[in-house]
Amino acid sequence: MKIRTLIYCIGQGFRNLGRNKSFTAASIATIASCLFLFSMLFSVAANIQNILYSVEKGVSVTVFFDPGITDERIQEIGAMINQRPEVDHTEFISAEQAWDSFKTEYLGEYADGFTENPLEDMSNYQIYLADVSLQGALVDWLTGLEGVRKVNQSEATASTLTGINAIVAYVSVGLIVILLAVSIFLISNTVNVGISVRREEIGIMKYIGATDFFVRSPFVIECMIIGAMGAAIPLATTYYLYNRVATYLTVRFSTLSNILSFLTVNQVMKFLAPVCFAIGIGIGFIGSFVTVRRHLKV
């Protein structure tokens, strides 16, 4: 294919946008509406997942040791724990640190009456998990270690968070798939109507000897441009609204600031922008390619 022919087809695609204003506006509006709903749904789902992840990071397993255990053995246990794939990070709490924390939080000035540390055997590891659903496997392994006296776990919390996470994931994926299917159907119909009214134009081009590629290319380019424009509008709208909504919720529910950890708009857009453009341009390409193909046989 000649470069001159390609440039001509691209130019025709851009000119078609102005010549078919009603089709262009209807197609952009359809794509923008569908992708705006997709953007909103994705933003909500991503933030719910992020909040659940933040809560999971606060769930820990506590390991206590046998009385008289050596410091070397405690360090060995710590090294083995940190090598486990379920573990994100650990914190060692010595008996002295445990007693100082307990005094400060519960006893205050009454702690002066204690001449010895009543928590002498309460040194422990606080283990924070990379995935809370793996807590059971880690606890089973910990209880079998020599020198481990007791393992405390948040079984109910872990199972609840795992269940909620799974439900959110399944519901989000299901809704997104349904929304995309409806979007493709609506956009394809819009493209079909817009191109069908120009079947006479396609027929004339075919009768004067134009190749299928020459006929199809301007329509495909036109619809890909429409898809890109239809993606840009909801992305810009989502970018504007996202910060306002996140700021409002943070201020409105300030008491839950430790839980409501929203993703930044840039974190959301890093994934959302390429996906929306890919969907918009892809649907424009597929819809126009298939629809024009129906009218090439004259």
CATH number at residue 64: 3.30.70.3040
39 and 142 share one domain:
no
164 and 112 share one domain:
no
Full domain range(s) for residue 66: 60-153
121 and 198 share one domain:
no
Phi/psi of residue 83, nearest 5 degrees = -85, -10
Can you tell me the distance from the alpha carbon of 102 to that of 97, in angstroms, rounded to the nearest whole number? 9
Q: What percent of the chain has pLDDT over 70?
A: 69
Mean pLDDT on 27-55: 82
49 and 67 share one domain:
no
Residue 275 has pLDDT above 60, yes or no: yes
Last residue of a domain, one of 131, 153, 175: 153
Mean pLDDT on 70-93: 84
Helix axes 3-19, 212-252, angle to 10 degrees: 60
How many domains are there within the chain? 2
How much is the pLDDT for 294? 64
Alpha helices in 21-154 (DSSP H): 21-57, 71-82, 95-102, 135-143
How much is the pLDDT for 236? 92
Mean pLDDT on 205-212: 71
How much is the pLDDT for 1? 52
Out of 83-87, 136-140, 186-190, least confident range: 186-190
End-to-end alpha-carbon separation of the chain, Å?
23
Most confident range (mean pLDDT) of 192-196, 206-210, 236-240, 294-298 is: 236-240
89 and 109 share one domain:
yes
Give SS3 for 1: coil
197 and 131 share one domain:
no
Contact 126, 153 (CB under 8 A): no
> Phi-psi bin for 198: left (phi > 0), alpha (psi -120 to 50), beta?
alpha
40 and 164 share one domain:
yes
The overall average pLDDT reported for the chain is 76
Could you tell me which residue, 61 or 165, shows the higher pLDDT?
61
Could you tell me which residue, 240 or 287, shows the higher pLDDT?
240
Cα separations in angstroms, 109 against 112, 114, 122, 156, 215:
6, 11, 22, 36, 89
Strand partners, 148: 65
Residue 110 has pLDDT above 70, yes or no: no
Residue 290 has pLDDT above 80, yes or no: no
Contact 10, 221 (CB under 8 A): yes
179 and 82 share one domain:
no
Residue 266 has pLDDT above 70, yes or no: yes
14 and 72 share one domain:
no
Could you tell me which residue, 52 or 224, shows the higher pLDDT?
224
- Say what the pTM is: 0.66
Could you tell me which residue, 257 or 66, shows the higher pLDDT?
66
Strand partners, 87: 129
- What would the two tokens of residue 133 be? 């659903």
Residue 59 has pLDDT above 60, yes or no: yes
168 and 268 share one domain:
yes
112 and 224 share one domain:
no
